[in-house]
């Protein structure tokens, strides 16, 4: 997964629309996000997670991350993922409208795929549908993404203390090791089938020999 562009508006300290072009930044291979306390560094990471999964790690309710001076908020993330034949680009948008009196928040979402020729196709227009598509495209659920990609401050130790099984599952997805595990599983399954067939034929031959033995011994004793 490669981040291309992020737009934030009305979330935490970002009252007005702000955009980050990750495609330009990534030309330098390595880049950092710096700023004073409260300038919005963590919000950038939060909004990547929000765009993908519709929630922010550090808050429990949407009203908590919507700027107090706004009645609406939005986040738009453009990213690409390597497919079986080519890199596929996607734009996911999340919108939030808050009723300050009741505290209710109305959430909306849409997901669009961008093709190499510039054309596009709408994949989903509801929150649930977008969530389902994102998990399939990215290959991570929200909890997995949080633990290995967008790990909150202070929770690194928790990841290290996870069980070996959990860490194997997480890092195999991060580094795409699943395909190698599947290849090994297929090879071992094929080898197991071959061994079982050989064992079957050997057992058949042994039974035949066992059936012939008494008859052969009788002939020897008569002679």
Q: What is the pLDDT of residues 155-214, one digit of tens each?
A: 555 556 666 666 666 666 655 556 666 667 678 788 888 888 888 888 888 887 777 666
Return the domain boundaries, the chain.
2-139
Q: Are 85 and 163 in contact (CB under 8 A)?
A: no
State the pLDDT at residue 108.
95
The residues that bridge with 124 in the sheet, in sequence order, are: 111
Residue 182 exposure: Cα atoms within 13 Å on the Cβ side = 6
Place of tokens 């997805």: 173
State the pLDDT at residue 126.
95
For the chain, the 3-state helix, strand and coil shares in percent, each to the nearest 5, are 45, 25, 30
CATH topology of domain 2-139: Rossmann fold (3.40.50)
Distances (CA, A) of 126 to 74, 131, 190, 200, 207: 15, 9, 43, 55, 65
State the pLDDT at residue 159.
58
- Burial call 117-127: b when 16+ CB within 10 Å, e when fewer: eeeeeebbeee
Q: Are 1 and 138 in contact (CB under 8 A)?
A: yes
Measured CA angle at 149 (ends 146, 155), to 5 deg: 55
State the pLDDT at residue 213.
66
Residues of the chain with pLDDT under 70: 83-86, 147-183, 185, 212-223
Torsion of CA 31, 56, 163, 171, to 10 degrees: -40
Contact residues for 46 (Cβ-Cβ < 8 A; gap 6+): 11, 12, 56, 57, 58, 65
User: How far is Cα 98 from Cα 78, in angstroms, rounded to an integer?
Assistant: 25
Q: Are 151 and 167 in contact (CB under 8 A)?
A: no
Q: What is the pTM of this model?
A: 0.66
Helix (H, G, I), strand (E, B) or coil at 65: coil
Closest CA to 114 of 122, 104, 125: 122
According to DSSP, the β-strands at 105-114 and 87-98 are antiparallel
State the pLDDT at residue 95.
96
Q: Are 59 and 31 in contact (CB under 8 A)?
A: no
User: How far is Cα 94 from Cα 80, in angstroms, rounded to an integer?
Assistant: 17
């Amino acid at each position: 997964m490669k981040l291309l562009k992020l737009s934030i508006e009305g979330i935490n300290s970002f009252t007005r629309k702000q955009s980050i072009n990750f495609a330009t930044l990534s030309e330098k291979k390595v880049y950092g996000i710096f700023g004073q306390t409260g300038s919005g560094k963590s919000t950038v990471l939060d909004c990547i997670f929000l765009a993908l999964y519709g929630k922010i790690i550090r808050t429990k309710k949407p009203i908590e991350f919507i700027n107090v001076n706004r009645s609406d908020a939005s986040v738009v993330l453009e990213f690409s993922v390597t497919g079986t034949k080519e890199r596929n680009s996607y734009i996911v948008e999340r919108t939030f409208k808050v009723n300050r009196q009741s505290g209710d928040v109305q959430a909306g979402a849409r997901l669009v795929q961008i093709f190499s020729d510039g054309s596009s196709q709408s994949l989903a227009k509801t929150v649930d549908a977008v969530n389902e598509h994102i998990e399939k495209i990215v290959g991570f659920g929200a909890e997995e993404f949080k633990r290995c990609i967008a790990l909150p401050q202070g929770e690194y130790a928790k990841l290290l203390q996870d069980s070996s099984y959990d860490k194997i599952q997480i890092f195999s997805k991060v580094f795409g090791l699943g395909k190698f595990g599947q290849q090994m599983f297929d090879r071992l399954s094929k080898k197991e089938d071959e061994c079982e067939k050989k064992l079957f034929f050997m057992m058949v031959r042994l039974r035949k020999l066992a059936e012939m033995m008494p008859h052969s011994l009788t002939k020897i004793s008569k002679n």
